[in-house]
């Protein structure tokens, strides 16, 4: 949003307020609190002008100058809430815009739909539990963990049934892994149509997951030599099911019951889900109730009708499990424009389902020239990695891009390369280099360079 937008918006609000016969100051103050900071300032300025110096302490406290030096802020001159006034803490009221969002027209109904994480507001690598993107095929079941069971059967020596208590007795591991819907970015195969980062890349989150290795559980049941595939099935109303090759199951697949230090959220599969690091999120079956070992895949609906990638010639790829190397600049972005010329850090996220991010390059000129953007903080396999590049913006237009390279040497492709290979109807696995157009006024728009 530009400054002029702010101004016109706040003037409008103040104008409306004037029309009210005798505005209740308390109500107005509450209204003001629900506004964005910029709007609130203008709104309260207008209000103060209107009411003169007669403003109550409450309004004055919220006004732009009253809490700034040399004044002593109202919160310094009063007492706050006591302990356990919120037994489970929530973010500041000023963070109310940091929420998951959906695009309503994507699906017929919210029960079988998807929401996106607000990547533009997130710091570091970890997605807070309440902001992890959602994907349901039949809504979120509310499962009583005491009445939940996981059965493992099929081509095994000892079919077993586990309670949640029993699953948590196995040796646990905690690993930081991203999870991404393969349809992330899928609305833009044919052209750009999403006006924000949250919608172009937000089907992506990263948590510390805790659980037991699937290989541990498979050892417990004893997989017969002819067992080559594992069917994972959820306890939701879609009984969501996917076929997983035994090689993956024995490699790094986890059966997790916790995320970021607490029990899984219902949205994320409470009380237990599968986690296939680096693979399309749909394979990480939530509300996991059953694992069956078989000698061939099942060709479930979610691996035939859906989650298959239609090519230009009408044939389709199946079992496209890996989320290939990808990256995006998160600051600036349409939701986080720049203001004045000067120093900024161009920041972003990179990830690869094949392992560790080795390098990220960024371009300011639409891919003509590239510079290396150093990785920041922890860099680990199949997790998000963060990069940052210090940049003195002169106030001119830019075509900003990022391009990640992973440990296999795979370089994130251009949109043109992907389209030449796959056409524009594959829906899934669009990991192309993304372009933000930065305007001279600092605003940022989603564009494509075909």
Partner 1 sequence: MFRFLDSVAVTRVVGAMTLAAVMALAGCSDKTASVETTPSTAQPAKNSVNNVEHALFGIGEAATPAQIAGWDIDVRPDGLGLPEGEGSVEDGEMLYEDKCASCHGTFGEGEGRWPKLAGGVGTLSQERPDKTVGSYWPYASTLWDYIRRAMPFPAPQSLPVDEVYAITAYVLNLNDLVDDDFVLSRDNFSAIEMPNKDGFFVDDRPDVKNPRCLSDCIDPATIKIVETIAGITPTAHIKEGGTDARAYSEEGDGHESGEDSVGKNIHDSACKVCHGSGVAGAPVTGNSDDWQERIKQDKTLIYQHAIEGFQGDSGVMPAKGGQAQLDDVAVKAAVDYMLETSR
Residues 258-297 interacting with partner 1 (rule: CB under 8 A): 289-290, 292, 294, 296
Q: Going residue by residue from 350 to 389, which x/- string records binding to partner 1, judged by CB under 8 A? A: -----------x---xxxxxxx------------------
CA nearest neighbour of 326 among 276, 387, 240: 387
Crossing angle of the two packed helices 25-33 and 37-51, in degrees rounded to 10? 160
Segment 174-213, which members bind partner 1 (CB under 8 A)? 191-196, 199
Single residue of 14, 164, 238, 349 touching partner 1 by CB under 8 A = 238
Beta strands 173-180 and 385-393, pairing class: unpaired
Alpha-carbon separation of residue 444 from 84, 326, 345 (angstroms): 42, 20, 15
Q: Closer to partner 1 by CB, 176 or 238: give it.
A: 238
Residue 342, phi-psi category: left (phi > 0), alpha (psi -120 to 50), beta (remainder): left
Segment 77-96, which members bind partner 1 (CB under 8 A)? 90-91, 93, 95-96
Q: Going residue by residue from 104 to 133, which x/- string records binding to partner 1, judged by CB under 8 A? A: xx-xxxxxx---------------------
What's the distance, Cα to Cα, between the start and end of the chain in Å? Answer: 27
Distance in angstroms (rounded) separating the CA atoms of residues 312 and 301: 22
Q: Closer to partner 1 by CB, 271 or 413: give it.
A: 413
Nearest-approach distance from CB 372 to partner 1, in angstroms: 8
- Residue 86: which residues within 8 A CB-CB, separation 6 or more? none
Count of residues that interact with partner 1, criterion CB under 8 A: 118
Single residue of 34, 56, 65, 340 touching partner 1 by CB under 8 A = 34
Q: Work out whether 425 is an interface residue with partner 1 (CB under 8 A).
A: yes
CA nearest neighbour of 63 among 49, 86, 78, 45: 45
Q: Going residue by residue from 145 to 174, which x/- string records binding to partner 1, judged by CB under 8 A? A: ------xxx---xxxxxx---x--xx----
409 in Cβ contact with 399 (< 8 Å):
no
Q: Going residue by residue from 49 to 68, which x/- string records binding to partner 1, judged by CB under 8 A? A: --------------------
């Amino acid at each position: 949003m530009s400054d002029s937008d702010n101004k016109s918006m706040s003037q409008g609000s103040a104008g409306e307020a004037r029309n009210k016969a005798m505005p209740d100051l308390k109500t107005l103050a509450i209204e003001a609190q629900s506004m964005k900071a910029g709007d609130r300032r203008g709104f309260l300025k207008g209000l103060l002008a209107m009411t003169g110096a007669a403003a109550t302490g409450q309004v004055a406290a919220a006004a732009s100058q009253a809490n700034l030096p040399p004044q002593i802020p109202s919160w310094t001159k009063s007492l706050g809430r006591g302990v356990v006034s919120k037994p489970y803490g929530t973010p500041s009221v000023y963070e109310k815009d940091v929420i998951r969002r959906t695009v309503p027209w994507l699906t017929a109904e919210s029960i079988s739909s998807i929401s996106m994480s607000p990547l533009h507001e997130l710091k570091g690598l970890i997605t807070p539990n309440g902001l992890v993107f959602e994907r349901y095929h039949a809504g979120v079941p509310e499962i009583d963990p005491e009445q939940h069971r996981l059965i493992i059967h099929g081509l095994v020596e000892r079919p077993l049934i586990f309670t949640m208590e029993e699953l948590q007795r196995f040796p646990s591991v905690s690993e930081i892994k991203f999870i991404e819907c393969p349809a992330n970015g899928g609305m833009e195969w044919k052209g750009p149509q999403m006006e924000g980062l949250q919608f172009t890349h937000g089907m992506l989150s990263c948590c510390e997951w805790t659980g037991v290795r699937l290989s541990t559980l498979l050892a417990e049941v004893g997989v017969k030599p002819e067992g080559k595939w594992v069917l994972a099935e959820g306890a939701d109303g879609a009984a969501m099911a996917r076929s997983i090759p035994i090689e993956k199951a024995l490699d790094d697949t986890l059966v997790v019951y916790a995320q970021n230090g607490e029990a899984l959220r219902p949205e994320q599969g409470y009380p237990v889900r599968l986690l296939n690091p680096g693979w399309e999120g749909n394979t990480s079956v939530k509300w996991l109730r059953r694992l069956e070992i078989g000698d061939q895949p099942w060709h479930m609906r979610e691996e035939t009708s859906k989650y298959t990638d239609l090519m230009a010639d009408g044939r389709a790829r199946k079992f496209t499990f890996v989320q290939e190397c990808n990256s995006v600049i998160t600051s600036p972005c349409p939701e986080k424009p720049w203001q004045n010329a000067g120093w900024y850090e161009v920041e972003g996220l990179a990830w690869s389902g094949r392992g560790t991010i080795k390098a990220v390059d960024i371009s300011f000129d639409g891919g003509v020239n590239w510079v290396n953007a150093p990785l920041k903080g922890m860099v680990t396999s199949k997790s998000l990695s963060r990069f940052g590049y210090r940049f003195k913006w002169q106030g001119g237009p830019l075509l900003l891009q990022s391009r990640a390279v992973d440990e296999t040497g795979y370089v994130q492709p251009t949109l043109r390369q992907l389209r030449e290979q796959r056409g524009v109807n594959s829906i899934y696995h669009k990991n192309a280099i993304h372009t933000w157009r930065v305007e001279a006024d600092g605003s940022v728009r989603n564009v494509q360079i075909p």
